[in-house]
Chains A and B, each alone.
Chain A
């Protein structure tokens, strides 16, 4: 078991490094003095990892602020996707899916939101999310038929997040209590855990932990999960691919985020953490911190 002990060493050394880094970096003062009221700070990053030839993850971020009903309203759209399929088809699938979803949500949600203040009568946001992900699924199916991708999209308006999700990338709510998983993985092991046929610990090493039963780009109809999540001031929303959550235990992710001086630094350290743990897969993280 030479591998395991190497891993252990790496992990211990890795931890040491992070602590050292904390000492060196002075906490940065919040730089939102010029803004009134609610706002958010965004960190993001993606890394190929150590074992892969391509980075098949993709992400999209957009943030802006506008005034509505006398209040400054932050608005953001954040998307991550983890592609799969040989010969770079996975890269194409994930990148295409993020762009199609972004396009669809800008048209259906963002632009109307800018236009109307008081009359909000339109179809529900979850239906817009479902449509956006379904459009993306079709686009992937047509462009790269033998590829697929996961996709998790979070639309943030004020303190409210609307999430659309397919696959095993994840959205977490991060508070002082730690990480709380919002989305449910569409993977075989997640179902086994739900049925009590596997424990979360077994799942981490399960030989079929990578098998998804739902993904974009498979043709036919696809069920999209949607979630609504309040993001109170001080809380953060983490979107990440399985390259992060499959490598770094949740309590460790929580500790890294809590200790980091900024969301950007947190993302960097999360990715470093995943690499320290082996870096078997591509790693992507987008972290949105709500400030007041």
Chain B
């Protein structure tokens, strides 16, 4: 039933060819009882064969209107119809309806077939509130494989069914399956003109190239099983997207083994599928036989262990490392809750110097010329010499500093828990201007085209003029914004604790899109080649298309992700509260490796020269090979 299909010629078809009324007698023999089904390609009636006067012998009469305007084409259509009817007449299998007769009347052709009592699997699926059981679906699929093997080995030429779908599989009153609608409709498909809607949903991709291969039926059976097991109707989805919805993501009851079998049948490339229906049948039978055996693995999932990754070096501080490292000129700068900012040799991890503040350091340092700038829980922003660690200047604020400083035009921009965004001279630490938000600013500012963008716990994202600190626009999310904005191609991207990731128009502050995760987004976005990477407290790392906010992939860590991802050399790196540092393939979203530290990892990685630098709450700073 291709009810969603709309095409001009077909609409016409229905208008010209209204259904035959009850009581109509065809060929003086077949009396129409009722209309069973109106499909895109024809109508099926239930009829009574009047030659059998004593018993009510029922049959199915299939009517096809050959609407080709060209007489030559019309004749060709009828010839094809007769040829197919003749093939059907040579088939003898319990799962194929017997053909009794065929004839043409005017522009209509008729096929008289055995009437199958029962229901088709599409109706059955619609009537079932729950998922169909795996055993049932496997048992039907095995029967379908049997009949496919039979027609595929037909001599002289294999017969390809080409139209496998739940509505073409009948379950008769003996619980046996019967294939109906033997591809005959296909011969009437001439090149249609004009835009049309609708797609079959079950057919293999190569069928649209005109390739008919027995393994196309294997694909369509896989598609049919996918629909039966998940209730996801492929006709309502973009074509060939089964692999984006593995069976178990829609129906967790399905076994991994069955998922592996169905997905193999659904491979795009013919060569990657089962060689034959027979082979697929064996694989299905194997599931029933080995049921309960937990040693089975599908064997396609790559296993990656953390053992493979050994740190280049590690450095132990005296307290937790929540701050994120910055690397410049071969030196790693990182703050610790032991109150110190450390300078470590990037190659060896050797201690270079440390600078002690009066509080823990949660913010990440920035480099400006030969100075390291960083804020502390002691409410002060420090500027110290990158070479020696000696103090250059300080700038006190009213509360703890968790925002990381950014420098532009010799001005340092940073937020404080006192609710202000500060612009101070990078040379002297003197305040140039400050902007008051309603709540702490823990987000780190982003600067582009003379505008400073920053988020606040008051739930706003602010855009401020870099010279004056005057408000250009503000955008209110539904909760605090601790994530730091990133800018790309006219858009400002930022996460909010209202669970969303936002894309705002740089110029107007209008939201272009938002993407909802399943928990607060404290992580800051990282952007590379039209793709945005960001973590959520829901434990997933998301890859979103920057222009549309569409999900490309997501990766589930074992714990919350507060860390902001870093992108380098085809991989995304981030830490998780689960204690791991993860490396994910940027294209596929699959795990490359992970490394277990001794504590949570809220720190964000810094990647340079083949090394990932990151801190952990086990007090250590790690240098890991990419």
Binding site for B on A (CB under 8 A): 51, 68-69, 82, 84-87, 113, 118-127, 146-148, 150, 157-160, 162, 168, 186, 188-189, 191-192, 195-198, 202, 206-208, 210-215, 218, 220, 225-230, 242, 280-281
A189, A202, A227, A281: which has the most chain B beta carbons within 10 Å? Answer: A227
Contact check, B475 vs A121: say whether CB atoms are below 8 A apart: yes
B512 touches A162 (CB 8 A): yes
Q: Is the Cβ of A118 less than 8 Å from the Cβ of B471?
A: yes
The residue of chain B having its C-beta at the shortest distance from the C-beta of A280 within the complex is B193
Known: A84-B196, A122-B511, A124-B511. A229 touches B547 (CB 8 A): yes
Which residue on chain B has the smallest CB distance to residue A210?
A: B195
Pick from B195, B472, B507, B549: contact of A168, CB under 8 Å: B195
- Chain A min CB distance to B222 (Å): 15
Please provide the chain B residues from 257 to 300 with a CB less than 8 Å away from any CB of chain A in the complex: 268
Of A125, A206, A210, the contact of B510 (CB 8 Å cutoff):
A125
Partner of A227, one of B7, B196, B504, B547: B547
Which residues of B are found within 8 Å of A207, using beta-carbon distances?
Answer: 191
Q: Evaluate contact between A195 and B513: CB separation under 8 angstroms.
A: no
Q: Is the CB of A125 within 8 A of B511?
A: yes
Q: In terms of DSSP, what is the predominant structure of the interface of chain A?
A: loop
Q: Is the CB of A191 within 8 A of B239?
A: yes
Residue of A nearest to B460 (CB): A121
Cross-chain contact of B489 among A189, A195, A230 (Cβ < 8 A): A230
Stretch at the interface among B201-209, B308-316, B349-357, B373-381: B201-209
Q: Flag whether B473 is at the interface (Cβ < 8 A).
A: yes
Residues of B within 8 A of A220 (CB): 236
Set of chain A residues within 8 Å of B11, measured between Cβ atoms: 85-87, 146
Q: Give the residue of B191, B197, B513 whose beta carbon is less than 8 angstroms from that of A148.
A: B197
Among A113, A147, A212, find the residue whose CB has the most chain B CB atoms closer than 10 A.
A212
| Min C-beta distance of A67 to chain B, whole Å | 13
CB–CB A191/B240 < 8 A? yes
**B473-495 Cβ-contact flags toward A at 8 Å (1 or 0):** 11110000000000001110000
Contacts of B505 in A (CB 8 A): 120, 125, 157, 160
User: Given A118-B472, A121-B476, A211-B196, A84–B512 Cβ distance below 8 Å?
Assistant: no
Which of A150, A197, A212, A229 meets B268, CB within 8 Å? A197
Q: Which of B12, B191, B209, B490 contacts A86 (CB 8 A)?
A: B12
B8 touches A124 (CB 8 A): no
For chain B, residues 496 to 510, give those with C-beta under 8 angstroms from any C-beta of chain A.
Answer: 502-505, 507-510
Instruction: Please give me the residue from chain A that is nearest to B192 by CB atom.
Output: A210
Whether B238 is near chain A, meaning CB under 8 Å from some CB there, is yes
- 14 A-B pairs with C-beta separation under 8 A: A68-B508, A118-B471, A120-B509, A122-B511, A125-B512, A127-B513, A162-B512, A195-B268, A197-B209, A202-B209, A215-B197, A218-B197, A281-B194, A281-B195
Please state if B490 and A197 are interface contacts (CB–CB under 8 Å).
no
Is there an interface contact between B489 and A120, defined as CB atoms closer than 8 Å?
Answer: no
Distance (Å) between the CB of B46 and the closest chain A CB?
27
Q: Check if A227 sits within 8 Å of B238, measured CB to CB.
A: no
The answer to whether A195 and B195 have CB atoms under 8 Å apart is no
A146–B6 contact, CB under 8 A?
Answer: yes
Cα–Cα, bound, A92→B11 (Å): 16
Question: Whose C-beta in chain B lies nearest to the C-beta of A243?
Answer: B195
Contact yes or no, B268 A119, CB < 8 A: no
A215: which B residues are within 8 A, CB to CB? 197
For residue B209, which residues in chain A have a CB less than 8 angstroms away from its CB?
192, 197-198, 202
B4 on the A face (CB < 8 A): yes
Are A242 and B195 within 8 A (Cβ)?
yes
Q: Which residues of B contact A225 (CB under 8 A)?
A: 548, 550
Which residue of the partner chain A has the closest CB to B206?
Answer: A197
Interface string of B227-246 (1 = CB under 8 A from A): 00000000011111000000
Report chain B residues within 8 Å CB of A118: 471-474, 509
Contact B474 A121 (CB under 8 A): yes
Nearest CB of A to B251, in Å: 20
Are A206 and B197 also in contact (CB < 8 A) when A84-B8, A118-B474, A122-B510 are?
no
- Please determine whether A126 and B208 come into contact, CB atoms closer than 8 angstroms: no
Interface residue? B608 (CB, 8 A):
no
Report whether A191 and B238 are in contact in the complex, using a CB–CB cutoff of 8 Å.
yes
A160 to B491, alpha carbons, bound, how many Å? 10
B510 touching A227, Cβ below 8 Å: no
